[in-house]
Amino acid sequence: MKKVLFCLVLLLPLAMLISCNQDDIVRKLASAEDQAFVEKSLDQLRHKQFEELEKRMDASIQQPNLRGGLEKMSALLPPEEPSKVILLSTRQNHSSSQVMSNLTYEYTYPKQWFILEVTLNKSHDQPSILGIRITPQSAQIEEQNSFSLVGKSLLQYLILALAVAFAIVTIVALIICIKMKLRGRKWPWILFILFGFGNLAVNWSTGEFGFALLAIQMFSASASAVPHGPWILSISLPLGAVCFLIFRKNHAAEVNMPAEAQIDPI
C-alpha cells in the first residue's frame, strides 16, 4: 500500500502538468505587462491605428518609411476579428546594452492562420517595439507539429523503430539485472544499463537531424515537445544494456546447493 501511495505522489505533479492547457503554460512564462503591451500594439496594427502604434515603436527604427511598412503588414491581416489568439512562445535576450523580449502569437481566422512575432526593447521603464513580423501559415501550428506517421522519411521511421527497440532492451536488461544475483556490487551495472551514450535527435515535423557524441540519456530513447512546438525524437546507444545481456552469465553469483541436495560421486 505504501508503494502505491508513493507512486501516486510522484505521478500527481506530472498529471497536473499534462492536464494544463499549453497556452496557459506559455502565458505563465511571459510577464503580464509584456503581453498587454504587445497585444494592444497588435490590435492597433489590425485596426490601422498607425499614429498610436508609431508612438510605441523604438527610436532606433523611427524612419520615414515606417508608416509604409506598418500599412503593408496591416494589409496582410483580414479585416474581421480573429476567432482565436494563442501565445506560442516567449523568450528574453540580455546584452550589455539592452534587454529584449520576444513574443510570438498565432492568429486564427476562417481558413487562414498567421504567426505574429513582436520584439520589445525593455532597457527603459517603458517598453518599445523593435520589430514586428507577420508570417502567413497553411495550417495551425498544432496541426503542423502534431505527431503523425504520414509523409515521413525512411530515416525518421528508422529512428522511431530504434527508439522503441532501445527502450525495450534497456527496460528488459534493467529488470533482469535487478532480479538477478551478481558477483560484487549491482548498482554500477544498473547505472550502466540505465543510460545510453551519444544522442541522435530528429525534429519529427521538419525532419531535421542533430547529433551529439558526448551525451547521455536515460532509457536510451526519448520523445519530447515544448508547448505548441514540434516533437523531438532522440535515441542513444544502449551500450550498458547490450553488454549486460551478452555477458550477464559471466557475472552471475554462484549458487551453493544445500548439503542434502548434493549428490556424492560413486
**Amino acid 142: pLDDT:** 80
Amino acid identity at 84:
K
User: 134, 123, 94, 122: which is closest to 37 by C-alpha?
Assistant: 122
| Domains of the chain from N-terminus onward | 20-144 (3.10.450.590), 154-252 (no CATH)
Exposed/middle/buried for residue 20 (C-beta within 10 Å: 0-12, 13-18, 19+): exposed
Q: What is the pLDDT of residues 14-55, one digit of tens each?
A: 444 443 455 666 666 667 888 899 999 999 999 999 999 999
What's the pTM?
A: 0.65
| Torsion, Cα of 61, 65, 69, 75 (10° steps) | 150
Span 163-221, pLDDT tens digits: 999 999 999 999 998 888 887 788 888 999 999 999 999 998 888 999 999 899 999 99
**76-135 tens-digit pLDDT:** 999 899 999 988 888 888 776 678 889 999 999 988 999 999 999 887 778 899 999 999
> Are β-strands 195-203 and 209-218 bridged in parallel, bridged antiparallel, or unpaired?
antiparallel
**Count of C-beta atoms within a 10 Å radius of residue 32:** 9
